[in-house]
Amino acid sequence: MTEAPPHFRVAVIGSGFAGLGMAVRLKQAGLDDFVVLERADDVGGTWRDNDYPGAACDVPSHLYSFSFAPNPHWSRTFSPQSEIWEYMKRVAGEYGVDRHVRYGSDVRSARWEPDGNRWRITTDGGTVTAQFLVSGAGPLADPSYPDIKGLDSFEGKLFHSAEWDHGHDLAGRRVAVIGTGASAIQFVPRIQPEVGALTLFQRTAPWVMFRHDRDITRVESWLYRTFPVTQQIARKSIYWGRETYILGFAKNPRLLTVVERLGRANIARSVKDPVLRAKLTPDFRAGCKRILMSNDYYPALARPNVDVVTDGITEIRPHAVVTRDASGRETEHEVDTVILGTGFHVTDPPIAQRILDAEGRSLAEHWGSDVRAFRGTTVAGFPNAFVLAGPNTGLGHTSQVFMIEAQIRYTMEALKYLCKHGLDRLDARPEAERAYNDMVDESMEGTVWVSGGCDSWYLNEEGRNTTLWPTFTWDFALRTRWFDPHNYDLRVDRARTRGARRPAVAARGPAVGGTRRRGRRRADERVR
Amino acid sequence: MAIRHVGRARELQVRSADGTLLHAEVRGPEDGPTLVLAHCWATSLASWGPVVRELDPNLRVVLYDQRGHGRSQTPLTRAGYSTDKLADDLCAVLEATVPEGRRAVVAGHSMGGMTIMAAGDRRVFRDRAGAVLLTNTGCTQLPKRSTAIPLPGPLGALGARAFLQAPLPLGPANAVSARALKFLVMGKEADPRTVRLCARLVHACGGVPRGRWGGVMSGLELDDTARRISAPTVVVVGTQDKLTPPWHAHHIAGLLPNCEEVREVPGTGHMGPLENPRVLSDLLEKLAVDHLRAELAA
């Protein structure tokens, strides 16, 4: 007889902001019977992996942090990656979450077993089963490699910005950077002074705004430490300030011309060469693709050792990147290092291929290219599973942590509801999911993301925005404030129905199953 | 607050089990018998200064700031404040400063004493504590037994609770607050310089961590782990201690399996290391001589 794999009430995939936040809320509710499955050897997720030079958050740190763990010690308004990662490790440590983490456990598959009413999760570090599955594998988890001919044949050094090779000395090298997204604009200014020559391959010019980044003064830090309410005021002010961006993005995109003017001024300030200026000026409405923030990106591009290439890349040869211009003429750019700033699998996250329903059909197959969920969190046909940072919960203007926390609250409300009413299974109703997504699509109409004239990582192949939340974030927080049982198919836990309750436990007596069941019930009661 | 002591302090950062960075200082000869001193609520490691100054220069003294105090990191969340965390911190400091296989005299004043009692069942502590000194401390019923707030019955306990938990910032040290502090925490004969020192230390402590720790102490319940301290222990208390009256010392002595002595110091209040440094340094030296024989020989 093979030994049954360890069973948990909740299994959380990932230990980034979503996984950690979920684990902390479970602990706060007194539910200790959970496991966090982490593929790497430390917590932190995206903020652990993306340690390229200059990595920082482009949402002010007072807002981009957990609501239950304000940090008066942020060094800058937009904190660098190392500080954010350190912050996450400390929060994990204080709540003792790290004791629940299984490191080196990359999830290979998670399959729903209706008979056992549990998820069977196979990982690199062994198999576990769990009644509830929470995926905290966010959209920026898996680097996306571009489909360019000859990418594998390159004989120099090639790496993705999310897997930065710190052992590779860039001094004096001829470097190609492919992509001008949020990562590239942060690391390009940092590596530009070091490298011999930098060729930046740009498909679409992004809008780049001036960043009001500064040190947090000692007075501010003292104030936040001494009167925590002042930090709450700062946090809320940033939140409501950022929320006004929605007026431009979603309600009236014409307002964004102001932003475009600022963006052009930002280019004009640092770039004097009219040809380069033309290359760097975007031809779509600001906000359609993510608006980026940097003070040193344009000055870096204006330096003599940088060349911006806007022609499309046709192939990569062992020592060069080849482009073709509009007239069909090919140019070979000789380089010895290629850095890919080509982003992540956002609309097709690999985790979706590994979450399987009862028939073995994956979430990715279920979705096709049209990723949708109910309240961004639960998917019809995938019972007892919650997807944090799921479909249509992304943001272009404010803190993702806010959305994640709203989803975590919703998940906790759902778990509490099930425990309180003796239920052991929930499955979103397809009609509820449909109605919800109709609402999302309706709000999406007229927003800059679908009408701004660009192709961004927000959109799927059909041009539907499956990534972003289309309106104010407080709207989402209100929608996920309470669990709504009428939108779900729920099942009564037969082992817990009246009468059968106590004798069932007593009869089992010293059996292992009996003690585990008792342990689980204790956890339930605390959740109440 | 610098401490005038034998030699210069070697400063080090100790990472506690949950990642919080603690500031620690080591003084005296590297191979001397070691004392590890844990300070009290709302001060810093400097509150042991007067005792350290009296100590034999051949002793190695380890001082550290409790989390949220002095130069140690302040927890980010409420979960960072608990007696378990205090015990974690002490164990981390012991592991970092007392070499494997050696023992130290571990002393704690007030919250430092609670730290030791919370660590009573930890392996690291049991392996490395050769002897223990607890001064002006308690392990249960803190607000109930407190006589600091002169109100009748439960009102006094409520007052003590409010005093412990209020996260109010104190602002700059002044004569009024020093008088109030003297009334609350020190004996009647405390000399004005000591009172001023105490006020400076307390005012330097952040209001938020002070209130949070006060909250932890209001609900303190450490009888079970205190019973597990097997090392020989001396318990000290001031007869005029209002925060942890002598009842606590006798209660602790009743729990400990190996209590050598309960010393009541007449005329002193709660701030033992400031008010009667001579008594404490003598006791610490005696404990070192009696119980760190192996270390003395080395």
Domains of chain B: 10-297 (3.40.50.1820)
CB B132 within 8 A of CB B252: no
Pair A99, A54 in one domain: yes
Pair A88, A157 in one domain: no
Residues ≥6 apart with Cβ < 8 Å to A255: A247, A248
- pLDDT at position A494 is 77
Distance CA A478, CA A497 (A): 33
Pair A336, A349 in one domain: no
Numbers of helices and strands, H then E, in chain B: 14, 8
Mean pLDDT by 10 residues, chain A (528 residues): 85 96 96 95 94 94 95 94 96 94 95 94 95 92 92 94 94 94 95 95 93 92 92 96 92 89 93 94 90 94 94 93 91 94 88 93 91 94 94 91 96 95 94 95 91 82 88 94 94 69 41 40 42
Residues ≥6 apart with Cβ < 8 Å to A326: A311
Pair A392, A305 in one domain: no
Distance CA A168, CA A337 (A): 9
Domain residues for the domain of A522 are 499-528
- pLDDT at position A128 is 96
- Which chain B residues touch A if contact means CB-CB below 8 Å? 17-20, 73-80, 85, 169, 206-208
For an interface test with B, give the residue of A67, A87, A90 to mutate (most B CBs within 10 A): A90
Let me know if residue A155 belongs to a domain.
yes
What ipTM was estimated for this complex? 0.89
Pair A210, A283 in one domain: yes
- Which chain A residues touch B if contact means CB-CB below 8 Å? 24, 27, 68-71, 87, 89-96, 98, 225-228
Pair A400, A450 in one domain: yes
- pLDDT at position A424 is 92
- pLDDT at position A460 is 84
Q: B19 to chain A, minimum CA–CA distance in Å?
A: 6
Q: Which of A340, A359, A385 is the last residue in one of the domains?
A: A340
Q: Which of A294, A323, A340 is the last residue in one of the domains?
A: A340
Which positions in chain A touch B171 (Cβ < 8 Å)? none
What pLDDT, in 10s, does the model give residues A149-182?
A: 999 999 999 999 999 999 999 999 999 999 999 9
- pLDDT at position B296 is 66
Which positions in chain A touch B85 (Cβ < 8 Å)? 94
Residue A224's CB: how many other CB atoms inside 10 A?
A: 24
- pLDDT at position A253 is 87
Mean pLDDT by 10 residues, chain B (298 residues): 59 94 93 93 93 91 95 94 96 94 94 96 95 95 87 84 83 85 89 91 91 93 94 95 94 95 93 94 94 72
Which positions in chain A touch B206 (Cβ < 8 Å)? 225-226
Collapse the DSSP code of A308 into the 3-class scheme (helix H, G, I; strand E, B; otherwise coil) and give the result.
strand
Inter-chain residue contact A91 with B77, CB threshold 8 Å: yes
Let me know if residue A289 belongs to a domain.
yes
- What's the CATH code of the domain at A390? 3.50.50.60
Residues ≥6 apart with Cβ < 8 Å to A160: A143, A145, A339, A340, A342
Let me know if residue A228 belongs to a domain.
no
Pair A297, A401 in one domain: no
Kindly provide the b/e burial profile for residues A229-248, where b requires at least 16 CB atoms within 10 angstroms of the residue's own CB: eebeebbeebbeebeebbeb
Let me know if residue A57 belongs to a domain.
yes
Distance CA B59, CA A14 (A): 49
Let me know if residue A66 belongs to a domain.
yes
Strand order in the sheet with A330-334: A312-317, A320-324, A330-334
The DSSP result for A62-95, as a single string, is TTSS-TT---TT-SBSS-BHHHHHHHHHHHHHHT
The DSSP result for B138-183, as a single string, is -SB-HHHH--SS--STHHHHHHHHHHHH------S--HHHHHHHHH
CA distances, A82 to each of A47, A155, A184 (Å): 8, 31, 18
Let me know if residue A73 belongs to a domain.
yes
What backbone phi and psi angles, to 5 degrees, belong to A130?
A: -155, 145
- Kindly state the DSSP code that residue A216 receives in the 8-state scheme: P
Q: Which of A340, A369, A386 is the last residue in one of the domains?
A: A340
Let me know if residue A128 belongs to a domain.
yes
Number of structural domains (chain A) is 3
Inter-chain residue contact A93 with B169, CB threshold 8 Å: no
CA distances, A391 to each of A28, A370, B12, B13, B133 (Å): 27, 9, 47, 44, 59
- pLDDT at position B6 is 54
Collapse the DSSP code of A186 into the 3-class scheme (helix H, G, I; strand E, B; otherwise coil) and give the result.
helix
Pair A192, A313 in one domain: yes
CA distances, A73 to each of A32, A42, A218, B74 (Å): 30, 23, 9, 10
Pair A423, A476 in one domain: yes
Q: What is the pTM of this model?
A: 0.90
Let me know if residue A53 belongs to a domain.
yes
Helix B154-165 vs helix B207-218: crossing angle, to nearest 10: 140
What pLDDT, in 10s, does the model give residues A361-389?
A: 999 999 988 889 999 999 999 999 999 99
Residue A509's CB: how many other CB atoms inside 10 A?
A: 8
Distance CA A472, CA A451 (A): 18
Pair A174, A300 in one domain: yes
Cα within 13 Å of Cα(A30), Cβ side: 12
Pair A278, A424 in one domain: no
Inter-chain residue contact A90 with B79, CB threshold 8 Å: no
- pLDDT at position B2 is 40
Which positions in chain B touch A228 (Cβ < 8 Å)? 208
Residues ≥6 apart with Cβ < 8 Å to A515: none
Question: Which three-class secondary structure string do you get for A464-509?
Answer: CECCECCCCHHHHHHHCCCCCHHHEEEEECHHHCCCCHHHHHHHHC
Nearest CA in chain B to A89: B19
Pair A292, A270 in one domain: yes
Q: B51 to chain A, minimum CA–CA distance in Å?
A: 31
> Exposed (0-12), middle (13-18) or buried (19+): which is A379, by Cβ within 10 Å?
buried
Interstrand relation of A34-37 and A7-13 (parallel, antiparallel or unpaired): parallel
- pLDDT at position A476 is 95
- pLDDT at position A496 is 67
